[in-house]
Amino acid sequence: MTETKPAREPSTGLIEDALFTRIKNRVGKAIHDFNLISEGDRIAVAVSGGKDSYAMLHMLDTLRRRAPVRYELVAINIDSGYRGYRADIIEEHLKEHGFTYHMEKTEHYDIISEKRRPNSSYCSICARLKRGTLYTLAQQMGCNKLALGHHMDDFIETLLLNQFFVGSLKAMAPSMLADNGVTTVIRPLVYVPEKEIIPFSRNNRFPVVCCCCPVCGTADLQRKKMKELLETLERDNPLVKRSLLKALSNVHPRHLLDKGLTRIPS
């Protein structure tokens, strides 16, 4: 018997199966719950060449084609200058799917090599430089919003990391005004778990490329620990991640110790 391949939707080029529908609904719900997109928005979509940002770009494009609200997308990519980074593969994919895009070659690697103090985190300086460039590019491309591909697991892991290692109760915002005061950063994958993005990316053959930084795959041991902890907890309680995400929208300031939030009885 010959195996039938799932059909790709001609307009989006995606396989529109049950997983596609589930992710589309989650992104749609996030857009609705947090008012992420408005009529006339021009959104810079930060595409790294990883599975998350490809998934985000394609989902925002799918919804754009069906939404009553008109908005535009501009994919933007930053090449930090790490040897072996295949920006050409990303560009080829963006071109093939007809996206408007901008590829930015930077000297971040040289800057990091020169400026980084011994023992300071490689990832944090790299991320800070990238974030600054993304804000600048979004503005230059005439975009009022910048979409980042953080997913549900990123939100939860960040919440735990901040509690365990920083001593603060915070995660990430699904929508917030950036420090430059003009760009609104949005995170449309907030409700999408990583375990759905992995097969979605694989099924659609997104051409995932390695970031090629010197610490790729070995850095962020604390985040890795959070992932392992969550996996262990999930074995006893499969809903643990849902509960942690829910907790972020169900805050009781009077039951916390922050004097700025609580009125202390005199």
Short-list 130, 152, 133, CA closest to 141: 133
SS3 22: helix
Which listed residue (148, 160, 185, 226) binds ligand ATP by CB under 6 A?
148
The number of CA neighbours under 13 Å toward the Cβ of 266 is: 0
Which listed residue (78, 138, 186, 192) binds ligand ATP by CB under 6 A?
78
Cβ at position 106, least distance to ligand ATP in Å:
9
| Continuous segment of H or E residues that includes residue 132 | helix 122-140
Cβ-contact 50, 217 below 8 angstroms: no
Q: Which amino acid is at 216?
A: C
Question: Is 187 an interacting residue with respect to ligand ATP (CB under 6 A)?
Answer: no
CA distance 248 to 156: 9
Applying CB under 6 A, the site for ligand ATP has a residue count of 13
Question: Is 150 an interacting residue with respect to ligand ATP (CB under 6 A)?
Answer: yes
Cβ at position 150, least distance to ligand ATP in Å:
6
Question: Is 153 an interacting residue with respect to ligand ATP (CB under 6 A)?
Answer: no
Cβ-contact 1, 189 below 8 angstroms: no
Cβ at position 48, least distance to ligand ATP in Å:
3
Question: Is 52 an interacting residue with respect to ligand ATP (CB under 6 A)?
Answer: yes
Applying CB under 6 A, the residues found at the interface with ligand ATP are 46-48, 50-53, 77-78, 130, 148-150
